[in-house]
A and B are shown apart, each in its own frame.
Chain A
Amino acid sequence: MAGIRLENINKKFGKTEVLHQVNLEIGDGEFVVLVGPSGCGKSTLLRLVAGLEDITAGNIFIGDALMNRIEPQHRNIAMVFQNYALYPHKNVRENIIFGLKRAHAPKDVIESRLSKVVNILGLEDFLARKPAQLSGGQRQRVAMGRALVRDAKVFLFDEPLSNLDAKLRNQMRSEIRRIHREYQTTSVYVTHDQVEAMTLGERVVVIRDGYIEQQGTPMEIYLHPDNIFVATFIGAPSMNILDARLFDGYVELEGCKLVMENGTPGQHRELPKTGLPVKLGIRPDFFIDRRHAGDGEALAVIHNARIDLIEPLGFDKELDVQIGSQLMKVRLDLRTQATEGDTIDLCVDMRRTHLFDIDTGQRLQ
C-alpha cells in the first residue's frame, strides 16, 4: 500500500486543457472520492494515476516512486471500470485470477486469494459462467473481485456503480465501504453522484472544469462549502442561492431583516456593510416552520413566504415557496399543516447559512 501525490498536474488533449495545475495528496489507506459534473476532468485524473493517459506537465508519485513514465502494467494498480470491462471470453474465475496469473503467483496463493474474494462478494455459484451470462450486479461484483484479488497498492474506481439500478447501487455502496474497511487499501473513487461521494468518501474532492474547487471530509464540504458551485453541487435538494443585501449585523432578504448571531459566516468580515449585494445560501433542510421552532433558539424569520407547491415525501415535505420575486425550496417535516397557496413564516439559524460574493461566487468569511 502506498499514498498518492499529484504535483501541478496539467493535462491537454490536443489544444484543450482539461486539468489545470492540480495538486492532491492522498494518504496511505485513505478512501478519496473525486466528484464533479461530467466533463470536469475527474476521470481523466484517475486515468493519469492509472497510467492510461500521458500527463502533459507535473508529477505523479505512488508511494515515493515517480510514476510519470511508468507503464500502467508496472504501477501495481487495480482498477474497476465503469463498463466493468470483463474479458468476455473468460469465465468468472479466469477473469478474477487473470492478473495473479500474469504475475506468476503460486497456485496456492491464487486459490486462497480467490476463495477469499469469492466469499466476500458472494460469487461462489458463478465461477464457471461467462460475463454474458451474468446480471449487471453480478458483473459489477466480478469487476470488484478482479481488483480485490490482487495485492495492489492502489484501487481506482471509475464510476463503478453508474450502470446499476438505484437499489443495487445502495447495496454495492455499503459493500464497498465494508470491503475498504477490511482491505484498507488506498482508493480513489470517481463519481458524478454526490450521494456516493458523501457516503463513501473519507475525503471528498470536488472538481469543476479541471480545477479542484474544494476538498475535505464530506461534512466539511456539506457544512462549509467554499463557493456557490460546491454549495449547490453537494447536497440534495440543492442549496437555495438568493439575492440579498448585507448590512451591519443583518442580511436583508426581500424586505426581511435576518439578524446574524455570533458565528454567522461573513459577520466579522471587513466589508462595507451598507447594503452590499450578496448571495445568501440556505439549505432547504435548515428551514424550520415558525410554529414548531423552539423558544430558546436564536432564529431569523422570513415572513409571509407563499407556498406554490407541496410535495409530500412521507416524513418530509418539500415545498416550493416564493418570497418576493425569488423562489426557493424548503424541506419541512410532516407536522407542517399548510396547504398550497397559504403563506408561512419560516425560521432559519443564520449560523447555518452562507454568504457568497456576487461576482466570484466565493464564500465571504
Chain B
Amino acid sequence: MDLSIAQRESRLGWRFIAPSVGVIGLLIIYPILYNIYLSFFDVKLTGDKLFIGLANYQRLLSDAAFYGAAITTVLYLVGTVVGSTIIGLMVALLMNMTFPFRNLVRTLILLPYFAPVISVVFGWQFIFDPVNGIYNHLVVDVLKISSSRHSLIGNPNSALGVVILFDIWKHFPLSYMLIISKLQSINKDQYEAAAMDGCGPIGRFVHVTLPELYFVLGTLMLLRMIWNLNKFEDVFLLAPNVETLPIFTYYAAFTGIIDQGFAASISVVQFGVLALLIYFYVKKVLKW
C-alpha cells in the first residue's frame, strides 16, 4: 500500500460515515429541500401536483387560523420554556440540600421524563375528565370554586393550559438534571465568602448561584424552545384541539380537506423560525 496514514484515515473515514451521510442526506436533507419545493404546488394525497407559485403562502398569510396557531405556539413555548426552567431550577435547589432518602427522591422525580408520552397522557386525561376526574371533584365538590363540572381539555383555551402544565411536568426533570449537575460543581467557598460579606440566603442565590447558572439556564431555554417547536405527540395526544403549528400542519396535511402543498408551506415557515433558533444556539452556546 502506498497511502500515507492521513490518506488511509481519510478513506476509512469516508467509508465509515458514508452510510450515515447517505441515510441522512436522502431522508432528512433531501426532504427539507423537497418540502420547500412542494410548498409551491397544489399537492394531492395521491401525489399529483400542480404548480401554483406562491399561492400557498398567500393563503397562509391571509389565514386567520394560521395566525391563531402561531399565537398558540408562542403561548405554548413561553409557558413551557419558562415553566420547565423555573420549576427545574427550584427543584434543583431543593434537591441540592441534604435530607433523608435524597437519592430515592432524586430518582423518583425523573420518572415523568422517562415515561412514554402515550402511557401518561391518558392518565392526565382521566385527571381532568369531567365525570370521574379528581380535578373536577376538587374544584366542584371540595373547594366549591365552580358550581358545575367542566371539561378542561374539551375547551381549547383551557386545554392549552393543561397542555402547558403537562409539558412542564414531563420536561422539568431534564432541566433539573442539568441544573443540579452545574450546582454541584459550584465551589462551597464562594458561598462562605458571600456569607462573610454579609449576604443572606437570597443574596447568596443572586450573587453566587445565579451567575454560575446563567449559561446553563440560557442553553436550557433555547434547547427547550427548539425542541418544543417540534413537539407533536405531547400536544396532540393530550388535547387534539390545541393547535400549535405542528398540529395545524398535521391537520392540513392529513385530515379534512387534504392540502399537502399548503401544509408544506407551513412547515417551511416553521423551519425558518427553527433554523433561526438553531443558528442562535450554535452561535451563543456552541460558539463555532
Are any A and B Cβ atoms less than 8 Å apart in their complex?
yes
Give A30-68 interface residues, CB cut-off 8 Å to B.
51-54
A220 at the interface (CB under 8 A from B): no
A15 at the interface (CB under 8 A from B): no
Q: Which residues in A have their C-beta under 8 angstroms from that of B2?
A: 69
Interface SS majority for chain A: loop
A111 at the interface (CB under 8 A from B): no
B2 and chain A: residue at smallest CB distance: A69
* Cα distance, A54 to B4, chains bound together (Å): 6
**What distance in Å separates the Cβ of A49 from its nearest Cβ neighbour in chain B?**
13
A25 at the interface (CB under 8 A from B): no
B8 and chain A: residue at smallest CB distance: A71
Say which residue of A52, A53, A54, A71 sits within 8 Å of B1 (CB atoms): A71
Q: Which residues in B have their C-beta under 8 angstroms from that of A71?
A: 1, 8
* Cα distance, A53 to B6, chains bound together (Å): 8
* Cα distance, A69 to B3, chains bound together (Å): 6
B1 and chain A: residue at smallest CB distance: A69
Q: Which residues in B have their C-beta under 8 angstroms from that of A51?
A: 5
**What distance in Å separates the Cβ of B241 from its nearest Cβ neighbour in chain A?**
54
A68 and chain B: residue at smallest CB distance: B4
Q: Which residues in B have their C-beta under 8 angstroms from that of A53?
A: 5
Give B1-49 interface residues, CB cut-off 8 Å to A.
1-6, 8
B3 and chain A: residue at smallest CB distance: A69
Give A103-150 interface residues, CB cut-off 8 Å to B.
none
A69 and chain B: residue at smallest CB distance: B2
Number of A residues, CB within 8 Å of B: 7
Q: Which residues in A have their C-beta under 8 angstroms from that of B4?
A: 54, 69
Give A49-101 interface residues, CB cut-off 8 Å to B.
51-54, 69-71
* Cα distance, A69 to B4, chains bound together (Å): 6
Which range holds the interface residue count of chain B?
under 10
Q: Which residues in A have their C-beta under 8 angstroms from that of B6?
A: 54
Interface SS majority for chain B: loop
Q: Which residues in A have their C-beta under 8 angstroms from that of B1?
A: 69-71
* Cα distance, A53 to B5, chains bound together (Å): 7
* Cα distance, A54 to B3, chains bound together (Å): 10
* Cα distance, A69 to B7, chains bound together (Å): 11
Give B234-259 interface residues, CB cut-off 8 Å to A.
none
Q: Which residues in B have their C-beta under 8 angstroms from that of A69?
A: 1-4
Q: Which residues in A have their C-beta under 8 angstroms from that of B5?
A: 51-54
* Cα distance, A200 to B8, chains bound together (Å): 36
**What distance in Å separates the Cβ of A9 from its nearest Cβ neighbour in chain B?**
14
Q: Which residues in A have their C-beta under 8 angstroms from that of B8?
A: 71
Give B64-120 interface residues, CB cut-off 8 Å to A.
none
* Cα distance, A71 to B4, chains bound together (Å): 9
**What distance in Å separates the Cβ of A294 from its nearest Cβ neighbour in chain B?**
61
Q: Which residues in B have their C-beta under 8 angstroms from that of A70?
A: 1
* Cα distance, A308 to B40, chains bound together (Å): 90
**What distance in Å separates the Cβ of A58 from its nearest Cβ neighbour in chain B?**
13
Give A329-356 interface residues, CB cut-off 8 Å to B.
none
A53 and chain B: residue at smallest CB distance: B5
A70 and chain B: residue at smallest CB distance: B1
* Cα distance, A103 to B110, chains bound together (Å): 49
**What distance in Å separates the Cβ of B7 from its nearest Cβ neighbour in chain A?**
9
* Cα distance, A52 to B4, chains bound together (Å): 10
**What distance in Å separates the Cβ of B42 from its nearest Cβ neighbour in chain A?**
55
* Cα distance, A52 to B8, chains bound together (Å): 12
* Cα distance, A54 to B6, chains bound together (Å): 7
* Cα distance, A69 to B5, chains bound together (Å): 8
* Cα distance, A7 to B277, chains bound together (Å): 55
**What distance in Å separates the Cβ of B197 from its nearest Cβ neighbour in chain A?**
43
**What distance in Å separates the Cβ of B51 from its nearest Cβ neighbour in chain A?**
51
Q: Which residues in B have their C-beta under 8 angstroms from that of A52?
A: 5
Interface centre among B3, B4, B6, B8, by most chain A C-beta atoms within 10 angstroms, is B4
**What distance in Å separates the Cβ of B141 from its nearest Cβ neighbour in chain A?**
61
B4 and chain A: residue at smallest CB distance: A54
* Cα distance, A71 to B2, chains bound together (Å): 10
**What distance in Å separates the Cβ of A146 from its nearest Cβ neighbour in chain B?**
23
* Cα distance, A337 to B83, chains bound together (Å): 81
* Cα distance, A69 to B8, chains bound together (Å): 10
**What distance in Å separates the Cβ of B48 from its nearest Cβ neighbour in chain A?**
56
Q: Which residues in A have their C-beta under 8 angstroms from that of B3?
A: 69
**What distance in Å separates the Cβ of B97 from its nearest Cβ neighbour in chain A?**
34
**What distance in Å separates the Cβ of B8 from its nearest Cβ neighbour in chain A?**
7
B7 and chain A: residue at smallest CB distance: A54
**What distance in Å separates the Cβ of A47 from its nearest Cβ neighbour in chain B?**
10
**What distance in Å separates the Cβ of B19 from its nearest Cβ neighbour in chain A?**
24
Q: Which residues in B have their C-beta under 8 angstroms from that of A54?
A: 4-6
**What distance in Å separates the Cβ of B287 from its nearest Cβ neighbour in chain A?**
22
**What distance in Å separates the Cβ of A45 from its nearest Cβ neighbour in chain B?**
16
* Cα distance, A362 to B190, chains bound together (Å): 55
Interface centre among A51, A53, A69, by most chain B C-beta atoms within 10 angstroms, is A69
* Cα distance, A71 to B5, chains bound together (Å): 8
**What distance in Å separates the Cβ of B4 from its nearest Cβ neighbour in chain A?**
5
* Cα distance, A51 to B4, chains bound together (Å): 10
* Cα distance, A6 to B210, chains bound together (Å): 59
**What distance in Å separates the Cβ of A46 from its nearest Cβ neighbour in chain B?**
15
Interface centre among A51, A53, A54, A71, by most chain B C-beta atoms within 10 angstroms, is A54
* Cα distance, A52 to B6, chains bound together (Å): 10
B9 and chain A: residue at smallest CB distance: A54
* Cα distance, A52 to B5, chains bound together (Å): 8
Between A and B, 13 residue pairs with Cβ closer than 8 Å are: A51-B5, A52-B5, A53-B5, A54-B4, A54-B5, A54-B6, A69-B1, A69-B2, A69-B3, A69-B4, A70-B1, A71-B1, A71-B8
Interface residue ranges, B against A (CB under 8 Å): 1-6, 8
Besides A69-B1, A69-B2, A69-B4, 10 other A-B contacts (C-beta < 8 A): A51-B5, A52-B5, A53-B5, A54-B4, A54-B5, A54-B6, A69-B3, A70-B1, A71-B1, A71-B8
The 8 residue pairs across chains A and B that have the minimum distance between CB atoms: A54-B4, A54-B5, A69-B2, A54-B6, A69-B1, A69-B4, A69-B3, A53-B5
